[in-house]
Structure 1
Amino acid sequence: MPVPPRPLKAVVDDRVDHCAVTSGRWPALTEVDTRWRGSFGYFAALVGPEEEQERIPLCRIEYLGGDRWTFALYDPASDSYIPQLLHTGRWEGSPDDAFETAALVHLADYEA
């Protein structure tokens, strides 16, 4: 699998975090943290006040090259990532689509 170049990783990190935090859809969300390993990016939500912040694993994205990404949703019961369709109904999409899909599942119960 191809590894996303460093500038692309930075764009994904900034764009997903900015869009998620400023959208107002997830009021308890303070940051989306992205960690990279090879062709995979792992999104986690940081929610709550800074002194009591909780880290919630959300999903994994996989870079396929060009503008192609796949998605796997974090499953806390098995502590693993399970390939899933995005909220768009497709197997491939943008990192923003991956965040939105995972947030619908994992952040629905969090309030500011």
Structure 2
Amino acid sequence: MPVPSRRLKDDVDGTVDHHAAQQGRWPALAEVDIRWRGSFSYLTAIIQRGGQDERIPLCRIEYLGKDEEWGFALYSPATDSYTPALLHTGTDTGHPNDAFDTAALIHLAGYEA
């Protein structure tokens, strides 16, 4: 199983957080927290509500060996687990920004502007 380099991890961290902030669709979104474990990355939205931070797990992406192609699994609060799913693009792999967009549409719908 390939593991992304430190440089690639840093690029993904910055790119996804910047992409999320630039959309303007999620005004309560303070940042996207990304945790790494091996070839997996876990994206969590940090939402500011009433002066408090709320953490909302979004999805897991998996490094497949190419900088632009990542596997995608959506977080399920009912089972507290990640389930492989299609991105909003209709594919099962894609850029980490596509993973954020897909998961945000599902998990952050109540936080829209």
Same fold (TM over 0.5): yes
Question: Higher strand proportion, which one?
Answer: 2
Measured on the aligned residues, the alpha-carbon RMSD in Å equals: 1.3
* 1:9-58 deviation line (CA, Å, top 9, x unaligned): 00000010011012101111010000000000000000015841100000
The answer for the alignment partner of 1:29 in structure 2 is: 29
| Partner-residue secondary structure (3-state), 1:34 | strand
Q: Is the 8 A contact 2:25 2:112 kept in 1?
A: no
Q: TM-score, normalised by structure 1?
A: 0.95
| Partner-residue secondary structure (3-state), 1:31 | strand
The answer for the alignment partner of 1:55 in structure 2 is: 55
Q: Is the 8 A contact 2:62 2:72 kept in 1?
A: yes
The answer for the alignment partner of 2:111 in structure 1 is: 110
Q: Is the 8 A contact 2:30 2:48 kept in 1?
A: yes
Deviation at 1:66, TM superposition (A): 1.6
Q: TM-score, normalised by structure 2?
A: 0.94
Unaligned runs of 5+ in 1: none
Give the % identical residues: 66
Unaligned runs of 5+ in 2: none
**Number of residues paired by the alignment?**
112
Q: 2: CA distance between counterparts of 1:4 and 1:50?
A: 37
18-27 or 42-51: bigger deviation: 42-51
